[in-house]
Structure 1
Amino acid sequence: MSFPLSLPAGQPLLTVTHPSESVWQLELHNGADSRLTRHLLQEAFLPALDAVESDWKRSLKAGGKGDAALVIVGNTKQDKFFSNGLDYENAIKQADFFPKVFNPWLARLLTFPMPTICAINGHAFAAGFLLSLMCDYRVLTAGRAWCCFNEVHFGAPLPPPFAQLIRVKLVDPQLVRKCALEGHRFVPQELLEAGVVERLVEGKSSEVLAAALELAESKASLAKTGVWGTIKEEIYREVLVAIAENRTVSRSAKL
């Protein structure tokens, strides 16, 4: 596998690099605010995850030590957004978007077989915040950045997988209520104090990314036994069941 890898070919929406022997980096650049569109998820993000895992497994077969971690960051050419969430209006017009594209992406990233570190270099709204929560660790800019699920404010119900992930990742009932029912815009210090992020970083996207890469290096050895993803399948079983059920319900509704 040759890196950098830009996907999809021709009009890339993300780029995968391999900055060190044990760390891969996925940078979103679907515009400045990295909206999570069908095209991005299906033609770029999922193939990027496959490419990273395949490269890691090839290294293992070649006698590599097996250390591995993945860092995900928003467009580093700006410092305003990590991700502005789904292209919602178009997503809800596509009957198969959630069961065929979004839910498989959720399950794939949530159980990825190496530590995943999210470098939140700006605002993370709705599915953008969800993306950060699906990762195993989070590093957040200490600057101006709101993280929230704002569905309650624009009248969109939370899909069951969203709700389950919020409950599992945030744990505290008061925090869950503020997040899901009030659409509270969390500022960096709140998320640090709640234990949702591991570290706040002063400076621009480059500093946030550097801190995430450092954290990734420190966690990479956890992948080498090959059970990281399997363990996540167990601890996030409720979320995976909700994803599977949501896919079934969506297919039934379509029929």
Structure 2
Amino acid sequence: MSEVSFPLAIPSADNHLMTLHQEGPLFILHLHHKDNRFTTEFCRGILYALQVVEDIFNDSEDPVDMALVTTGEGKIYSNGLDLMHAVSYIPFMETYLLMLRRLLTFCIPTVAALNGHAFAGGCLLALAHDYRVMRDDRGYMCMNEIDLPANLPPGMAGLLRYKMTPDTFRNCVLQGHRFPAKQALDEKLVDVICPGTEVLPKAKELALKWAPKAKSGIIYRQLKEEMYADVVRLLSIPYNRLAPKM
């Protein structure tokens, strides 16, 4: 692997959509492009960041503590897909679904620091992490496809179904319910809630707690691949087979 210097501007210093930092055993991916809507370029940026972290993990000679934290900026974690881009460029969905699949089965513990709204595709990004910390004073988790209206590809629905109870899944999908922090905690969508200024520190604290599990090496990923086998299969369905039905 070529040498990487941190902080790393992704995809480049001239087109700076996100920044990857390293703090000891932690990697922090800071998403800071407007309201962090997903385009092909944005998804590829996250995939590149994941590859950088995975390469460092794999290049370690001895078992190491390691974890990844993602966060947004201001009042928004991510507002989901850039719908104009998604509609106009069909291959985009393949990249987005790949990103969810890679994060869901990532080789080290992952924590989403929800600094604000996590809507639609942003909600799915959060749920693809192992753990979630959410601010308690503002922001919602929400899937608003019913109000667009838009269908849910099998992989997206599968991820929601796995991460939610049946009642929560129904309310999320059929009502477009907006889950504030306290309700998200009660319904086990998140693991910790706290004031906005504490979200990233709490997420780092949680990441440090579980970072030693990365010492299991390939086992951590293999366990997640088995846990999420059905979701991975659904996320792997080529979107071009689904597009005429959506």
TM bracket, shorter-chain basis: over 0.9
State the 1:203 CA deviation. 3.3
Q: Deviations over 1:9-62 (max 9, x none)?
A: 121101000012x1100000111x1111111112x111110001112222x22x
Match of 1:5 among 5, 8, 13: 8
Amino acid at match of 1:13: L
Matched, 1:249 2:241: yes
Residue in 1 that maps onto 2:144:
150
State the 1:246 CA deviation. 3.9
Match of 1:216 among 204, 207, 212: 207
Residue in 2 that maps onto 1:173:
166
Q: Structure 2: how far apart are the matches of 1:246 and 1:96? A: 10
Residue in 2 that maps onto 1:225:
216
Q: Structure 2: how far apart are the matches of 1:245 and 1:127? A: 17
Matched, 1:27 2:21: no
Alignment RMSD: 1.5
CA contact (8 A) 2:39 2:92 kept: no
* Within-5 A mapping of 1:188-207: 188-204=181-197, 207=198
Residue in 2 that maps onto 1:14:
18
Q: Deviations over 1:73-126 (max 9, x none)?
A: 002xx2x11111110121121121112x11211111111000000000001100
Matched, 1:239 2:228: no
- Partner of 1:245: helix, strand, or coil? coil
Amino acid at match of 1:139: V
Structure 1 runs of 4+ off > 3 angstroms?
none
Q: Structure 2: how far apart are the matches of 1:107 and 1:243? A: 6
Unaligned runs of 5+ in 2: none
State the 1:245 CA deviation. 2.1
* Within-5 A mapping of 1:97-108: 97-99=92-94, 101-108=95-102
CA contact (8 A) 1:68 1:114 kept: yes
% of aligned pairs identical?
39
Q: TM-score, normalised by structure 2?
A: 0.93
- Partner of 1:15: helix, strand, or coil? strand
- Partner of 2:196: helix, strand, or coil? coil
Unaligned runs of 5+ in 1: none
Matched, 1:160 2:154: yes
Q: Structure 1: how far apart are the matches of 2:83 and 2:229? A: 27
